[in-house]
Structure 1
């Protein structure tokens, strides 16, 4: 193995997701994939042949998890950090998933998006896990990459949703995950151009306040908002619920029937 490749491999780990069916190389330090990306994939509707664009792909966790569930996608993963984009490209190849990875600042204008092939009104699905921690209440990591991936600016949400609205065709679906206490901000950002909003609240335990919201919205729809059955990650005993286990193993989509304890 060349010296540069040995150094890169030493700075990464190889981790299993979806019950080990999806193997991802990711940095030892900095932003690392977790439950949020898998939950986002589970809450993203897609069919074979759909053009799917993931904004802020990182090492490709959400997009590749979605493609593991739904074959035949035209998958594009956009990531700001070249190092993470390189890992996303490796991960797609290593898992045998066709995908195109591009380096892109999601908040850049239409010309920058078009320059990497993301023309307006062309995507069937956009999924994204934007940086969402409030800088006023969250102490940013000293690691620059981790800080960029986690801490939002005052305009982050609005800019990312604007980019999704531009990329999606009429009737296309936006799927995103955000912190639960920012629900009002999400609804305000979706007010122009989106309808058929569907929300799933994610709780650490069902009796505790939600910690995340999973949101789907359809470009150009006038259908009313719906709230799906909530997802509790853990039961009263502190162990993962049956639904959480099924979702994280890639065996259940969201919103899910409320038949799991």
Structure 2
């Protein structure tokens, strides 16, 4: 079933470089897909898979920074896949959502491989969070496909030496590392801390197909530059403001 017009909002991202239709009551994109898109070192002409693309926030943010890339999305919820198609048309970008399951190896993309996979899978293990009243939001937040299967699909769809970038909660790091074992290497973890001295609330995993470099745990990237919440994003650090306002790349150590 499609979303009705009065069930949607149209929101600006990256200071109006892109506009995103998204449900009022379903899963709504925040800063997470923005940071994910900014972390991937994508170049013009490369092909990217947004695994579990939702309404397309990460894909659109990536294309605002690298307009010469080509992005395919894979989304299991038909209404979100349809919404992603609408957002691709509205923004006039090379983004093509496909209806399919991240848990079956990306069967809907059989025979296709990509230079990069980006993904923002559900943060919570099944039964580990309060159920959302909206079914779409519940599916986006609560794990139904094991995290290892997301990683297995990403590895299967990557070209040799291709990169995976995944944003997740810190408590899922053991699951991410276990999922990469035997599939992806050259693992790096970049923690994202809300403020200096605070524990990270998100992490970004970078992994490479056929990678052989030693594991690296980076110092946290601090999102806010002071101890106070000033509202309206005014206290974001200069690097994060550049990502949000200018579609800049996320500084990677």
Same fold, judged at TM 0.5 (above): yes
State the shift of 1:107 in Å.
Answer: 0.5
Cross-structure match for 2:223:
233
CA distance in 1 between partners of 2:37 and 2:8 (Å): 23
Cross-structure match for 2:61:
65
Which stretch of the first structure deviates more once superposed, 184-193 or 12-21?
Answer: 184-193
Structure 1 stretches of 5 or more lacking a match? none
1:151 counterpart = 2:149: no
CA distance in 2 between partners of 1:208 and 1:252 (Å): 25
CA distance in 2 between partners of 1:240 and 1:42 (Å): 15
Cross-structure match for 1:119:
111
1:213-224 correspondence runs (5 A)? 213-224=203-214
Per-residue displacement from partner, 1:47-103 (whole Å, max 9, x unpaired)?
Answer: 111111111101100011101101221210111111111111111111110221111
CA distance in 1 between partners of 2:246 and 2:180 (Å): 28
1:173 counterpart = 2:163: yes
Per-residue displacement from partner, 1:100-154 (whole Å, max 9, x unpaired)?
Answer: 11111111246xx2xx33425x21111100011134431121211111100124x
3-state DSSP of counterpart to 2:32: helix
* Alignment root-mean-square deviation, CA: 2.0
> Does the C-alpha gap of structure 1 residues 251 and 117 become closer, same or farther in structure 2, counting only changes over 3 Å?
closer
CA distance in 2 between partners of 1:119 and 1:162 (Å): 16
Structure 2 stretches of 5 or more lacking a match? 230-234
Cross-structure match for 2:232:
none
TM-score (norm 1): 0.88
Cross-structure match for 1:42:
38
Per-residue displacement from partner, 1:192-228 (whole Å, max 9, x unpaired)?
Answer: 1211112211112221111110111000111112234
CA distance in 2 between partners of 1:252 and 1:226 (Å): 23
3-state DSSP of counterpart to 1:85: helix
Cross-structure match for 1:107:
103
User: Does structure 2 conserve the Cα–Cα contact (< 8 Å) formed by 1:131 and 1:156?
Assistant: no
TM-score (norm 2): 0.91
Aligned match for 1:190, one of 155, 160, 180: 180
CA distance in 1 between partners of 2:54 and 2:44 (Å): 23
3-state DSSP of counterpart to 1:207: coil
State the shift of 1:255 in Å.
Answer: 3.6
| Equivalent pairs, count | 247
